[in-house]
Amino acid sequence: MSALLVDNIGELVTNGVGEGPLGIRRSAAVLIEEGRVAWVGPAAYAPAADRRIDAGGAAVLPGFVDSHAHLVFAGDRAAEFAARMAGEPYTGGGIRTTVGATRAATDDELRATVRRLRGEALRQGTTTIEIKSGYGLSVADEARSLRIAAEFTEDTTFLGAHVVPAEYADRPDDYVGLVCGPMLAAAAPHAKWIDVFCERGAFDVDHARAILACGQAVGLGVRLHANQLGPGPGVQLGVELGAASVDHCTHLSDADVDALASTRIDCMCHEGQHTSTVATLLPGAEFSTRSPYPDARRLLDAGVTVALATDCNPGSSYTSSMPFCIALAVREMRMTPAEAVWAATAGGARALRRDDVGVLTPGARADLLVLDAPSYLHLAYRPGVPLIHQVIRNGVPQ
Residue type, 289: T
- For 46-191, where are the alpha helices, taking DSSP H only? 78-85, 95-104, 107-123, 139-149, 172-178, 184-187
* Beta-bridge mates of residue 8: none
- Among the listed ranges 93-101, 118-126, 168-176, 343-351, the one in contact with ligand NIG (CB under 6 A) is 93-101
Query: Measured from the CB of residue 279, what is the shortest distance to ligand NIG in angstroms?
Result: 14
Which member of 4, 5, 6, 95 binds ligand NIG (CB under 6 A)?
95
From residue 177, alpha-carbon distances to 95, 132, 208, 241 in Å are: 21, 20, 12, 20
- Among the listed ranges 85-93, 171-179, 304-312, 377-385, the one in contact with Fe ion (CB under 5 A) is 304-312
Which member of 14, 124, 153, 313 binds ligand NIG (CB under 6 A)?
313
Residue 116 phi/psi, 5° resolution?
-65, -45
Q: Is residue 311 within the footprint of Fe ion (CB under 5 A)?
A: yes
From residue 249, alpha-carbon distances to 38, 314, 353 in Å are: 37, 20, 19
Binding mask 138-177 for ligand NIG (x = CB under 6 A): ----------------------------------------
Query: Measured from the CB of residue 162, what is the shortest distance to Fe ion in angstroms?
Result: 9
Q: How far is it, in rounded angstroms, from Cα 371 to Cα 57?
A: 10
Which member of 311, 341, 348, 366 binds ligand NIG (CB under 6 A)?
311
Task: Report whether 224 contacts 238 (CB < 8 A).
Answer: yes
Q: How many CB atoms lie within 10 A of CB 95?
A: 24
**Any known ligand binding at 135?**
yes
Which member of 16, 315, 347, 395 binds ligand NIG (CB under 6 A)?
315
Q: Is residue 155 within the footprint of Fe ion (CB under 5 A)?
A: no
Which residue number, 58 or 285, has a Cβ lying nearer to ligand NIG?
Answer: 285
Q: Is residue 197 within the footprint of ligand NIG (CB under 6 A)?
A: yes
- Among the listed ranges 33-41, 187-195, 295-303, 309-317, the one in contact with Fe ion (CB under 5 A) is 309-317
Query: Measured from the CB of residue 309, what is the shortest distance to ligand NIG in angstroms?
Result: 10
The entry of ligand NIG, Fe ion, none that residue 228 binds, CB within 5 to 8 Å by partner kind = ligand NIG
From residue 355, alpha-carbon distances to 56, 132, 172, 270 in Å are: 29, 21, 38, 12
Residue type, 154: E
Residue 376 phi/psi, 5° resolution?
-60, -25
Q: How many CB atoms lie within 10 A of CB 56?
A: 13
Query: Measured from the CB of residue 76, what is the shortest distance to ligand NIG in angstroms?
Result: 10
Residue ranges binding Fe ion (CB under 5 A): 311
The residue ranges that bind ligand NIG (CB under 6 A) are: 92, 94-95, 98, 197, 225, 228, 285, 311, 313-316
